[in-house]
Structure 1
């Protein structure tokens, strides 16, 4: 089992969550579409060669974003990451993937 953490602009949070749920993430026992999220601010500066969804080249941008955490079974990790990248508005979405220990 893995935990997927990703960061997404507030306006796109539900569409991205639904994409990763549809790809197999978000299960917890007898429940589906499970996640935890908190609103914060992300900061980035698009560099030469980028095609930013928000902001301009060489300008620091601060955006209201959600940090979303959800569980992901090993057998669908690749599908879930592909769904995340496909549904996310950013050229390079920020995400983390942690393998969880079974105890």
Structure 2
């Protein structure tokens, strides 16, 4: 089992979550579409060569983003990450995943 965590602009969160759920993440026992999220503020500065969804080259941008966490079974983590990358509006989405300890 893995824990998948990603950051996404509030306006795009539902479409990204639905794509990741469709890939098999967010299932706990007899429940699906399980996640936890919290609102925060992300920041970045698009550099030369980037193709920013939000912001302008060389200018610091601050965006209301959700930190979304969900579990993912071993057999679908690669599909979930691929779905996250495909659905996310940023060309370089911030995410991580790690193996969890389960009893």
How many matched pairs? 103
Q: CA RMSD in A?
A: 0.6
Query: What residue in structure 1 maps to residue 11 of structure 2?
Result: 11
Deviation at 1:48? 1.1
**Structure 2: any 5+ residue segments left out of the alignment?**
none
- 2:22 corresponds in structure 1 to 22
1:33-74, CA deviations, whole angstroms, 9 ceiling, x for partnerless residues? 000000110000001111000000000000000000000001
Partner of 1:31: 31
- 2:72 matches 1:83: no
Cα drift, residue 102 of structure 1:
2.5
Gaps of 5+ in 1: none
Q: Runs of at least 4 residues of structure 1 off by over 3 A?
A: none
2:67 maps to 1:67 = yes
**C-alpha separation in 2, matches of 1:58 and 1:74:** 39
TM-score normalised by structure 2 residue count? 0.98
Q: Offset of 1:29 from its aligned partner?
A: 1.2
For residue 53 of structure 1, what is the aligned residue in structure 2? 53
The two structures have a TM-score, normalised by structure 1, of 0.98
